Structure 1
């Protein structure tokens, strides 16, 4: 049986963790993985000093790693996919046609809409960013558009589509852990998600008008296109891998096998269209595309991908598991929630408290897989108590968790995006209103009552009966 922790100790543990994380990242500027490991060691030491068993902490570390194993494998898949599609000429041909068709004035809006559509249909923001997102970054470099503008538009589109897709693992998990019908959950998410995306598109239209006057560099574009023509056998057939991957994911096939098919197709096309041998393919899958074209701007577009490009991201996930485990073992979250129940006199204060505490926990741990698993089942009964529909909670989990991830530099999502698009979080996040305005709209709705759903009294009774049976 685990020991209980006092409120004072729980707050102390959180404060120590937050101080280490912010000091390490903002002042020391140490790598995110090292900072999280340091915070995790401090949390473990305090937990052990307060009487918690190492075996319990170790079990929670293993349990957390089990939950994040799939995203780790997906990240490795994305790394190899980018490498294979670069070598095959798939991403270069997308860049080529993009420069041929698009204009700087409409690029940001087109990028956001294209990523939104792909993410909506496939349910994967990471897959969208790692494939079409990488290609669009290449197009933006060709146009001379600031990378942080482009990354902002790509991430905004990818996460808009991801939140509203019934195929998204974050959407599925938020609905499942709060016992909410997924269609109801998605409809409720529209209250915070659609206004944010509309604001984002307006921003991109305004930036586009400015860009049209600033980045008209025809010689630069011609140089890039001629370099791609000289180094790759460009053919529309090279578009088959992304089209097949998109179709299979749309048909709700599992992500990992689909990425495997995409990688295999890329390797086959690399042999037949680019004349590559097996050793070159193997090296690219591991190290990414490393060929040089003697044109710096083209090298920046193409030299990406590979398993090795994801190692730092995976290190952050492992570090987050190490850090999050003692917080779960010591029952820090449970103690703070109990305090919320005592203090919150109305549904509004309760919902605002839940949004804040989940956002804080997610910000600290950097993994929504962890925060959803902890807070979903734990907070759901609170919403029943106040006569509120649980879909308010499922929306809160997404607005302050999976969809907020790009704003947290040390989160699994933040590290993945920064490493995949080669743009630091602090540079692009301001141009991704979908991410941070959702929390603003959520708070507005909580305090105005607009967009807040009441629960059916009969459903609440059933939920309370289930809780009573569950807890004996």
Structure 2
């Protein structure tokens, strides 16, 4: 029964990615099938391949639930005026002499509340890029500031699917994990801010004129007493350390109510938005800015994480992970251990072409090493956040880099030197372990 169910699911998902021309999904499937054939050639039975694939795919269950809520949350915030309100007030108060810095700051704040790097890039990111193009500022620098900001939220938001994935894999409470990351976040954030303030002085926005804020104001009722209720709810629930899924459901319900009462949306339309995404402004100037979300929008992510988890199972069966573990096992200091974690993250990010694969594979490879060295699980989670979460954003063919660049209309290489926050996270963490940490030996 299990074999039949798995094969049916496999062929259904593979048919979906082929019909929808989801290139990355097709590549991941091909890689999976290649390693599955390799496992069969090494005297593994079909049942054993299916069993380990099925077992590891179940690790994605928690994150898949988060994906569903994130998709619905994004659509509800678009319909309620929450995201448009953030965009409107953010743009309104931008200082043209500090445009690049404000781009990073605003994007990081929205990414924190939204918990989605791609969702942030496709909303405020696109809006800020439109302003940059009209103001004759280097789009690669602005794009780098946006990408730095979106991965601030991706790494440090209770709504982030990747942060929840790390917490799930390491067995750490999400809020404890977020609290533990604060120290490793402050210095990189401040250094990045100073870097963008410096760049802002050299790259000044040449005009304040834009139509985005006016269009939003004319389209939405931006009553601040109501449109930010979904955000306030998320913040309060986070402070109270209430389960993130409960807080998201509450925010979705509140945002949906605001959409109906304040924005005069029909209940049936709101339900459609939650399911299929918010696409109300097709053919208008807001089409490229205020859109997206919905549970359906997460289907590609569902497929990637299911196959990614199954792929890691095959790596385990083929002892590929064991080989890498042996290569990095002999470390004597905390700095060496983190350095090896970063190296593994680069390898998994390059091979997997996906942030999720990088996180899952990195955790599988280094988990036992941390346990044997008696490093606390919460430190394991932090090191993964400081490596496998951010490093894929610097690999041009990885979806964590390629997709935001595509959304923003920039190349996937030229922005890298300016994406300060992405590489300052692992650099500062290594410096801390190497020169500051008192107990360097492990």
Deviations 1:172-230 (A, max 9, x none): 568768xxx9699647x62xx4443334223322332344343x141xx2x33332233
Contact 1:76 1:307 in 2 (8 A): yes
Instruction: Out of 42-51 and 423-432, give the one that drifted further.
Output: 423-432
Q: Which residue in 1 is equivalent to 2:276?
A: 287
Instruction: Out of 361-370 and 63-72, give the one that drifted further.
Output: 361-370
| Pairing 1:209–2:194 present | no
Q: Which residue in 2 is equivalent to 1:86?
A: 78
- The whole-number CA distance in structure 2 between the counterparts of 1:451 and 1:129 is 31
- The whole-number CA distance in structure 2 between the counterparts of 1:170 and 1:340 is 24
| Pairing 1:68–2:53 present | no
**SS at 1:361 equivalent:** helix
Question: Taking structure 1 as reference, are residues 110 and 170 closer, same or farther at Cα in structure 2, changes over 3 Å only?
Answer: farther
Aligned CA RMSD, in angstroms, stands at 4.0
Q: How many residues align?
A: 407
Q: Which residue in 1 is equivalent to 2:255?
A: 266
- The whole-number CA distance in structure 1 between the counterparts of 2:93 and 2:336 is 51
- The whole-number CA distance in structure 2 between the counterparts of 1:165 and 1:233 is 28
Q: Give 1:75 deviation, angstroms.
A: 2.4
- The whole-number CA distance in structure 2 between the counterparts of 1:71 and 1:424 is 30
Structure (1 or 2) with the greater helix fraction: 1
Q: Give 1:410 deviation, angstroms.
A: 6.8
Question: Taking structure 1 as reference, are residues 315 and 383 closer, same or farther at Cα in structure 2, changes over 3 Å only?
Answer: same
Q: Which residue in 2 is equivalent to 1:315?
A: 303
| Pairing 1:103–2:88 present | no
Q: Over alpha carbons, which structure has the higher Rg? A: 1
Q: Which residue in 2 is equivalent to 1:198?
A: 190
Structure 1: runs of 5 or more not aligned: 1-28, 461-472
TM-score, structure 2 as length reference: 0.75
- The whole-number CA distance in structure 1 between the counterparts of 2:240 and 2:107 is 18
Picking from 450, 453, 456, the partner of 2:435 is 450
Question: Taking structure 1 as reference, are residues 272 and 391 closer, same or farther at Cα in structure 2, changes over 3 Å only?
Answer: closer
TM-score, structure 1 as length reference: 0.71
- What aligned pairs does 1:131-142 form with structure 2 within 5 A after superposition? 136-137=124-125, 139-141=127-129
Q: Which residue in 2 is equivalent to 1:14?
A: none
Q: Which residue in 2 is equivalent to 1:278?
A: 267
Contact 2:129 2:139 in 1 (8 A): yes
| Pairing 1:253–2:242 present | yes
Q: Give 1:423 deviation, angstroms.
A: 7.1
Q: Give 1:45 deviation, angstroms.
A: 0.7
**SS at 1:402 equivalent:** coil
Question: Taking structure 1 as reference, are residues 325 and 182 closer, same or farther at Cα in structure 2, changes over 3 Å only?
Answer: closer
Picking from 366, 373, 380, the partner of 2:370 is 380
Q: Give 1:329 deviation, angstroms.
A: 1.4
Q: Give 1:99 deviation, angstroms.
A: 2.6
- What aligned pairs does 1:227-376 form with structure 2 within 5 A after superposition? 227-236=215-224, 237-292=226-281, 295-296=284-285, 298-341=286-329, 344=330, 347=333, 352-365=339-352, 366=354, 367=356, 368-371=358-361, 373-376=363-366
- The whole-number CA distance in structure 1 between the counterparts of 2:45 and 2:154 is 39
Structure 2: runs of 5 or more not aligned: 1-20
Contact 1:392 1:452 in 2 (8 A): no
Deviations 1:67-116 (A, max 9, x none): 22222222232222222222222222222222322233334423434565
Contact 2:126 2:408 in 1 (8 A): no
Q: Give 1:247 deviation, angstroms.
A: 1.9
